[in-house]
Chains A and B, each alone.
Chain A
Amino acid sequence: MIAAVNQRANGPGAGRAQIAFSGVTLNLGGKAILENISLDVKPGEFLCIIGASGCGKTTALRLAAGLYQPTSGTVAFDGKPMLAPRRDIAIVFQDYGKALLPWRTAFGNVSLALEASGMAASQRAARIDELLKKVGLPNHAGKYPAEMSGGMQQRLQIARCLAQEPKALLMDEPFGALDAMTRQGLQDEVLSLVRASDATVVFVTHDLEEAIYLGDRVIGLLPHPGRIGIELKIDLPRPRDQLTTRENPEFLRLRRELFDFIKASEA
């Protein structure tokens, strides 16, 4: 079981990249934000992106989502160039407070994704209940976002993303605004949700430990302009565990390596 999960990234279809950046450069406002980024994310892989503030992590994620078009180079998904956002790529925004519809309840917010996919109204309710249960909000269907804690709102955003049945889940510092305990709980939830759905994940964070804990691979960006500065394969056993994984000598070695990288990149 553990071995199977670990091998997932190298399983069938491993040869072909699901998300492929080739020679991607992006200028915004006459300034190069990202420069010559080439990167393949395999189907089912959990890729984490780290880097100092302002180095272009969010921008890279928005390119992967099709919300930006590269100035030069190409971004492809399943071998086809990304010209616009796709319904099977879901994005979890860092600022959950802005990404949810405040006038809709938790139920209504998840419903939005199902409505957009054209699911019949009669089938939605059961699916929504199932999704809310999956993210641990089964008893909060009738609550408005304003009545929910930050962690609950972020869970809700994840539920809406899962409603898209995404092949790829892009997450932009999804737990950045949450306290440490909530954060660790959600990390484990995301791992088990992802394991169940087989989705590819690109996860942006500025928390080095979080990146190592979650990822199959961690990429570090250098700033001004953003480019790939380090790439680490994470071979820690799965399922990961908040205590044992974080005490694993390999974990500590990786953490040290990333820490030195960030230090050097900021110098």
Chain B
Amino acid sequence: MNRAVLYWRAASFAVAAGFVGLWQLIADQRLVSPVFLPGPDRAWASLVRGFASGDLLDKLLGTLEHMAYGWFVASIAGIALGAMIGSSRTMRSYVAPSLEFLRPLPVSAVIPVAIAMFGLTQSMALFVIAFGAIWPMLLATIHGFAAVEPRLYEVARSLHMSRLAIIFKIALPSASPDILAGMRLSVTVALILSVVCEILAGLDGLGHWVLLSARAFRSADLFAGVILLGVIGYLTALAMSVVEKRLLKWRSSGH
């Protein structure tokens, strides 16, 4: 099994290296004008330069901050609301139709509303990111809480467990696989919306950096920004799956 893992690691690394090589080749052959497509060498140089001057680090931290705040607010609100709605059948039947109406609404439709309400501010970004990122978590949490094995509630009743104990010892852990899956999805949503908000509102972050670089035809800087965004997306998803594996150890074990 370990050998297979190693093999796949090596294979995927080789593919990635192949892409970079191909990219370098295309750039060197000038198949695409260097005004639009820098080679990986130039993108890398720009990355190094950006970090050396501190500019790029500021932008990176800006994006991470937008993403983290929005995701954090969405997580708290999504899990709390989802727990409330999911654990009560009456709540579910009252609220479900409204959710069905709101859920397919593209977040882009909410952005003008948010701009009208908050202006081109950090609050607008926070609102939009949280609004977009809350859905996967809200729906997953509702589902998780609604799907708790009723037998376990009977066990809880015959043990006279308190309401709080039932939530934290039974409902929440039972719903945790759903909740974590929702959280993983919404990290990505939060990243995308952070970039969109930075572009729209000119907030400090990689989105803004990418926009300015594109306008000034600084293609190396543009690619440096895009690469960083990719790295954020990759690392956050990786971190989430590590956390998931850790917390859900009980699921993978056994038959």
Residues of A participating in the B interface, judged by any CB pair closer than 8 Å: 65-67, 84-87, 89-91, 93, 95, 98-99, 101-104, 112-113, 115-117, 144-148, 164
When C-beta atoms are compared, the residue in chain B nearest to A89 turns out to be B158
Number of A-B residue pairs with CB-CB distance less than 8 Å in the complex they form: 68
The answer to whether B174 and A146 touch across the interface, beta carbons within 8 angstroms, is no
Which residues from chain A contact B253 at a C-beta distance below 8 Å? 144, 146-147
A sample of 22 cross-chain residue pairs with beta-carbon separation below 8 angstroms, ordered by A number, consists of A85-B157, A93-B155, A95-B151, A98-B151, A98-B152, A99-B155, A101-B152, A101-B170, A102-B250, A103-B174, A104-B250, A112-B155, A113-B159, A116-B160, A144-B253, A144-B254, A146-B250, A146-B251, A146-B253, A147-B254, A147-B255, A164-B159
The answer to whether A87 and B250 touch across the interface, beta carbons within 8 angstroms, is no
> Beta-carbon contacts of B213-255 to A below 8 Å, as 1s and 0s?
0000000000000000000000000000000000000110111
A51 to B208, CA, bound (A): 74
Known A-B contacts A101-B170, A144-B250; A116 and B159 likewise in contact (beta carbons under 8 Å): yes
Which residues from chain B contact A102 at a C-beta distance below 8 Å? 250-251
The answer to whether A112 and B158 touch across the interface, beta carbons within 8 angstroms, is no
Which residues from chain A contact B155 at a C-beta distance below 8 Å? 93, 99, 112
> Beta-carbon contacts of B3-36 to A below 8 Å, as 1s and 0s?
0000000000000000000000000000000000
Which residues from chain B contact A87 at a C-beta distance below 8 Å? 158-160
The answer to whether B250 and A67 touch across the interface, beta carbons within 8 angstroms, is no
Which residues from chain B contact A148 at a C-beta distance below 8 Å? 254
Please provide the chain B residues from 155 to 189 with a CB less than 8 Å away from any CB of chain A in the complex: 155-161, 165, 169-170, 173-174, 176
A112 to B173, CA, bound (A): 13
A147 to B169, CA, bound (A): 21
Which residues from chain A contact B176 at a C-beta distance below 8 Å? 103
Q: How far is the CB of B239 from chain A (nearest CB, A)?
A: 21
Which residues from chain A contact B173 at a C-beta distance below 8 Å? 101, 103
A233 to B244, CA, bound (A): 56
B149 within 8 A of A: yes
Q: How far is the CB of A261 from chain B (nearest CB, A)?
A: 31
A86 to B159, CA, bound (A): 7
The answer to whether A85 and B158 touch across the interface, beta carbons within 8 angstroms, is yes
B100 within 8 A of A: no
Which residues from chain B contact A84 at a C-beta distance below 8 Å? 157
The answer to whether B161 and A116 touch across the interface, beta carbons within 8 angstroms, is yes
A103 to B179, CA, bound (A): 15
